[in-house]
Every structure is written in C-alpha cells, then in structure tokens.
Structure 1
Amino acid sequence: MSDGTFQAVGNSDERMFGPRKIIVCGFSPADQNDFRKMTAELGMNDISVISAGAGQASATLGEVVDMPDGTGHGEASELDRTVILSGLTENELGDVMMGYRRLGQPRALWAALTESSIEWTLSALIKDLVAEREALQKKYPIQ
C-alpha cells in the first residue's frame, strides 16, 4: 500500500485532508483518558477522538472517521498502538506528537488520513505502518 516514501511535516496552519478527528488504537481506557486530557490541554476541544478496537479492524478509515466523537472510549483495544490524525493543521499535528511524548506512553505508530488511505481498512493501514517501522529499524538500527 505504501510506496515507502514519507512526506515531511511542515509548519503550516493549513488543514490537512479529512474531518477534524483523531483515531487512537491499542490504548487502554486509562491511556485514552490521558490522551483526551492532553488534547484538551493543547486547546483542541473541537477535535473528536475515536478509540478503535478489533471490532473496527475491517472497517475502512472513511467509516471509522465518520463515527461519532467518543466511540469506543473506555473500551480496551487489542490493536497495535496507533494514532491517525485527520483534518488537523501541520502545526497541530506537531503539537499532538510532542504532547504524546510528554505523556510518556508507549511508542505509537502515526499516520495522517489521506485521500487514498481513506479507502483502506484500519487493519491494512496498521499492517502497512508496522512494515514501514520494521523496514526503518533495519535501515537505521538503534544502537
């Protein structure tokens, strides 16, 4: 699915593709709460957060991003820990990533919703992100 290339994130207030939502996968209920508190502290109360689990794995990202705010909140997710950002500005994307690091939660896979990925299933996206991470770790091993 991926062509193995990455686009650098810039510093812009121009909104990226999709509705203003964040999809989190693989988060415990406590981690979901911490993530929501972090977005609120960043002043992003207008951004919906959806907690996706195994029940959404075969859904397209378009179907998942259309779910109402709070879907899956409080339910544990067995999926790989992933954060999918939709409709945020590049500046907000950077703020969310820095805020997440400050939470000290386990490492996550990160993606931004695109015109092409909106048709992928959630499980296909996660599988692709895992493969990309493994390829990068082989190319740039951590000492």
Structure 2
Amino acid sequence: MPALKTYVGFISHAWAHHNEYQKLDEMLKNASNFLFKNSSVPRTDPIPAPITTAKLIDALDEQIRITNVVLILSGMYAAHSGWIEKEIAIAAKYRKPIIGVVPRGQERIPLVVQSAAKEMVRWNTDSIVSAIRMHAT
C-alpha cells in the first residue's frame, strides 16, 4: 500500500469560536486514511508577545505559505472580521485553494467566504476530506 500524502492546512478561525476550530482540527486528524497537519495557531498556543499587527500578519503569511489548503470556518462572524479578509488575501497571493466549512446548524454564509472559496462544504468529515483531496495543491 502506498504511503498517504500529508495535507498541511491552515484553519482560519476566530478565537471566540475556538470550540469549532478544535472540533474541526480533531475531525481531520482522526479521519480514516487521511493525514492532516494544522499550520494555524490555536488560542492555546498564541504568537509570543509583544504582538503587533505587522507581527501577526507576518505570522499568518508564513502559516498560509507552507500549506496545501486554507479552510475557513464560515460562521457569520466571518463576515465581520477584517482578519479573515487578510487571510483570504494571503491565500490568494500564494494561490492556495480555500474551502469554506459551514458550521453545524449555520444557514447563512458570509459572502466574503463564498466568493473566495473553491468549494463550500457542510460540517461532515467525509465532505471536508474529499474537498481537501480535490483542491489541495
């Protein structure tokens, strides 16, 4: 049996919605026949202080540059986050595909995510893994 490819992904998230981020990371790490490495910084392991806007943008740039794919948790809070727009711009700069992941129970999806995403998927491990396999560079 050939070795599995390891997909490196950046999971865009708002720290106020850390539980969704954590659940998505766990879903991907526990998916059958799928290897996933998360390049994003969780709330539990922040960028060392002092944090400036420039330092944060540089860190995001590096986290996205090394990935195969960018996943954006697409709750409506994403529509009001300037950081998500910065992450989308960085992904575009490096030509990284974006997959929008719609949280469980979410009905409305931010236009900024819909416009940038190669694909929008619902909160389902198989759908997310399939989209990563299809679009990852």
Per the normalisation by structure 1, the TM-score is 0.33
| Greater strand share, structure number | 2
Per the normalisation by structure 2, the TM-score is 0.34
> Which structure is higher in RCO with an 8 Å CA cutoff and minimum separation 6?
1
| Greater helix share, structure number | 2
